[in-house]
Amino acid sequence: MLPFSTTMVLSLIEFFCVVVLHVIYAFGHFGMEETLLSAIGFIPILLTVLLFRLVKKESIIIRVFYISMLISSYFMAWKIQTLGMLIMVYFAGALMIALHSDRKLMLEYSIVSAVILIAMAIFQMDAIDKVCPSQIYYIYLILYAFGMVTLVFMASGIKNYKQKMEEKQEEAQNALEAKSNFLANMSHEIRTPMNAICGMAQLLSERKLGDEESEYVETIQKSSESLLSIINEILDFSKIDSGKMEINEEEYHFNSLIHDVLSIIEFRLKDKSVKLITEINPNIPRVMIGDELRIRQILINLLNNAVNFTHRGSITLKIVWVPQGVDKGVLEVEVKDTGIGISEENMGKLFKAFGQIDTRKNRNVEGTGLGLAISKNLLELMGGGIWATSTPDYGSTFSFSLPQRVKDGRPSNYKNDHNIVVRQNDEFKISFKAPTARVMIVDDNKVNLLVAFEIMKRFGFEATTIDNGSEAFNRIEEHLVTYDMIFMDHMMPFMDGVETTMKIRALDSQYAKEIPIIALTANAIKGVEKQFKDAGMNDYLSKPIHVDQLNDILKRWLPLEKQIRVVDGEEMKPVPTSKVKTKEQREEDMLFSLKGVNFENGIRNCGGNRNVYIQILRTFSSSNLPAGLESYYEAADWSNYEVIAHSAKGACRNIGADDIAEKAYKLELAGKNADEAFIRANHRDFLDEYKELISSITKAIIEMNKHS
């Protein structure tokens, strides 16, 4: 179907030609007066053009056009005595309305035009006879009637067809939306257990294990990374297919990009007798503007293919820069290998989706067959192109060109003798520690919470873990503790991460509006980043969590004064801060230093009153319960021992020392049941822990008194 504007333009052009022919005929056979009167036919055209600018409703424009056209056409034909040909003009106008596919308008036009033509046959037959015999006019009139009926049915059919096409389009759009939702859920559901596998394997790799166990852990890591790569390729292809792939252009350092790519490829080549050669022009600009992530992805795809299909010889990465002015140019990249090559009949399959060639011969090669198709689409989105040449048994060459803008035109001077790189499986060295950081992790999956908690311990702090969005919101609303940042899972039942963040940002407090919230997400669908930012999130961290990425996020968002630099494994002095802390902040710092005490729960137990909680801590620090417990233990008076253990349990729970309260509860039950063996096995450890808790609280109280 043609757009309405196109249909109207064609109709106006058609009628314009009719009017011009009438004017020319009038000028040739009549006087100037008839010629000028014939020009009245231009009025419908001018009127319709004016309505296009003023009126949006299509039916009004069509009605005005056809009514004015019927009247002006009749007037022109009457003035120059061509009434017998008016049927042809009216039928041409009917075609335009039929194309608009409105049956009601078509019926209106048919009736109005037929009335005019029949009235002419009754009252103006003498004028018509001057052009054509009455018998011919009657035949024309009958044909016109049949034509109008046909056009009415045609208009109805076109409308039904158009409606069906709109329904099909809506169904297709719904199917596309359903596919996107499915991929988002699939991404989340697969990445959630993968996060646990990768995280636990990473934690195990940091332990002192035997050679065999270390090999097992390394296999788990490599296999999980391979699976994640396959998942990412499928999701990337789907995003490109649905038009949701976005190109994010930012500044990037060329040397850093190449170093990262070659680090990954050299790690893959460590068990192969294949040499990696680099021929990189030193004049490539130092800092460029482009989508670094996608360029890295393309390079890794091409080099990975070369690694997969090259078993001896070499792989050469050649990059040159072709300047096209001061601030732009083209990267020309070539990846050449001495691998198995590609036959001529298979060359056409290279850049097609799922187009793995000779699958029986290469079935041991991992991958989806999407890498080259994705690379081609990404390059086209960025204004570049890709092509390949190959000779079977001698190798292949993949080349691409990519326009880039220049930020810093100084030469990068990349060293081509790239022999030593950081291995991908080397332990990442964290750049700082933050022992006083207060971080909340929100995730409905217990395993994910454990993985994130253990990884963050490497930075010197123990995060608070919450398993639902509602509880996270309540903690920020109550503001019993000032958290430095929140890691918020995206997909959670009842209240997801986006909804939780929006509710937090809507709170009437500066703290709630400014606390950094980081999306901790397994959703790899493009577009969620915008959703996160629109909800008020500051950044996002993809699952599985990698320590280097976590290091960057924490460094970016934790207060600078809480970061202690780590250089070669040595902690440097903390960064000095000029910010003067309030009395409440100093109290919070001291309370936070209490190991084994969740002072947030303790303050909650006191109705949210911090001063009451501190008073209870003072009372707790002067408690003589340990002496009473020891006395009844020595006397084997288990009945009174139970009473003291009960009091200790209540006191510990009041201040938020839940772990030691649980131990007191078990001793209480043992006293009640006269379980002497259990009491004697656990009494001493409990008493030592209880006394240590009192001692740490006493020190904190003394510090508070100094600064009060």
| pLDDT, tens digit (0-9, with 9 covering 90-100), for 108-154 | 888 888 888 888 888 888 888 777 788 888 888 888 888 888 877 77
pLDDT at 370 over 80: no
Residues 609 and 548 in one domain: no
Q: Output the CA torsion sign for 9, 13, 18, 23.
A: positive
Q: Are residues 303 and 375 in the same domain?
A: yes
pTM of the entire predicted model:
0.47
Residues in the chain: 708
The answer to whether residue 118 is domain-embedded is yes
DSSP codes of every residue in 58-107 = HHHHHHHHHHHHHHHHHHHHHHTT-GGGHHHHHHHHHHHHHHTT-HHHHH
Residue 337: per-residue pLDDT: 93
The count of C-alpha atoms lying within 13 angstroms of the C-alpha of 422, restricted to the half-sphere facing its C-beta, is 10
The reply to whether 267 and 121 lie within a common domain is no
In a domain, 593, yes or no: yes
Looking at per-residue confidence, does 331 or 246 come out higher?
331
Residue 191 has a pLDDT of 67
> Based on the number of CB atoms within 10 Å of its own CB, is 342 exposed (0-12), middle (13-18) or buried (19 or more)?
buried
Residue 344: its H or E element: none
Assess whether pLDDT exceeds 70 at residue 708. no
Find, among 254, 325, 250, 249, the residue nearest to 283 by Cα: 254
Give the pLDDT of residue 618.
85
- Contact call for residues 403 and 381 (beta carbons, < 8 A): no
Query: Do 499 and 590 have their domain in common?
Result: no
How many Cα atoms sit within 13 Å of 202 on the Cβ side? Answer: 25
Question: Which of 327-331, 375-379, 526-530 has the least mean pLDDT?
Answer: 526-530
**Burial grade of 473 (CB within 10 A; 0-12, 13-18, 19 or more):** buried
404 and 456, same domain (yes or no): no
Are residue 36 and residue 110 in the same domain, yes or no?
yes
389 with 474, same domain: the answer is no
Q: What is the pLDDT of residues 467-515, one digit of tens each?
A: 899 999 998 988 888 899 999 988 787 888 889 999 999 998 899 999 9
Domain boundary residue, one of 571, 604, 627: 571
* Cα first-last separation, the chain: 80
Amino acid 2: pLDDT: 63
Please name the residues in contact with 283: beta carbons below 8 A apart, sequence gap of 6 or more.
Answer: 321, 411, 412
pLDDT at 363 over 50: no
Strands 539-542 and 517-521: parallel
Burial, 149: exposed, middle or buried (Cβ in 10 Å; 0-12, 13-18, 19+)?
Answer: exposed
The CATH number assigned to the domain holding 462 equals: 3.40.50.2300
Q: Is residue 478 part of a domain?
A: yes
- Dist. CA 268–CA 306, nearest whole Å: 11
Q: Is residue 189 in a domain?
A: no
Given this model, what pLDDT does residue 436 score?
Answer: 85
- Respond yes or no on whether the N-terminal peptide bond of residue 574 is cis (omega within 30° of 0): no
Please tell me the predicted confidence (pLDDT) of residue 420. 38
**Residue 699 and residue 637 share a domain:** yes
Query: Average of pLDDT values for 159-172?
Result: 80
Note whether 96 and 34 are same-domain residues.
yes
User: What CATH number does the domain containing 319 carry?
Assistant: 3.30.565.10
Beta-strand (E) ranges in 372-505? 385-391, 395-411, 432-433, 439-442, 464-466, 485-489
Question: Do residues 430 and 460 make contact, with C-beta atoms less than 8 angstroms apart?
Answer: no
One domain for residues 404 and 283: yes
* pLDDT value of position 441: 94
- Specify whether 14 is located in the same domain as 154: yes
Strands in 517-521's sheet, in edge-to-edge order, are 464-466, 439-442, 485-489, 517-521, 539-542
Point out the domain boundary residue: 344, 377, 411. Answer: 411
- Whether residue 623 is contained in a domain is answered as yes
Q: In the prediction, which pLDDT does 581 show? A: 63
pLDDT at 231: 67
User: If pLDDT is split at 50, 70 and 90, which confidence band does 263 have?
Assistant: confident
Going by C-alpha positions, the residue among 295, 185, 212 that lies closest to residue 249 is: 295
pLDDT of 643 strictly over 80: yes
Q: In the 8-state DSSP scheme, what is residue 271? A: T
In a domain, residue 180? The reply is no
Do the domain assignments include residue 330? yes
Considering the domain boundaries, does residue 346 fall inside one? yes
Quote the CA–CA distance of 690 and 692 in Å, as a whole number: 5
Contact 529, 540 (CB under 8 A): yes
What does 388-427 look like in DSSP terms, one character per residue? Answer: EEEETTTEEEEEEEEEEEEEEEEE----S-------TTSP
Same domain for 295 and 335: yes
- Residue 75 contacts by C-beta under 8 Å, 6 or more apart in sequence? 37, 40, 41
Q: Which residue's structure tokens are 């930020």?
A: 407
- Pick the closest to residue 401 from 308, 298, 300 (CA basis): 298
Residue 191 to residue 524: CA distance in whole angstroms: 9
pLDDT at 360 over 50: no
Domain with 80 in it: 4-170
Domain boundary among 571, 603, 620: 571
Percentage of the chain surpassing pLDDT 70? 85
Domain count of the fold of the chain? 4
Report pLDDT digits (tens) over 27-70.
888 888 888 888 888 888 888 888 888 887 888 888 888 888 88
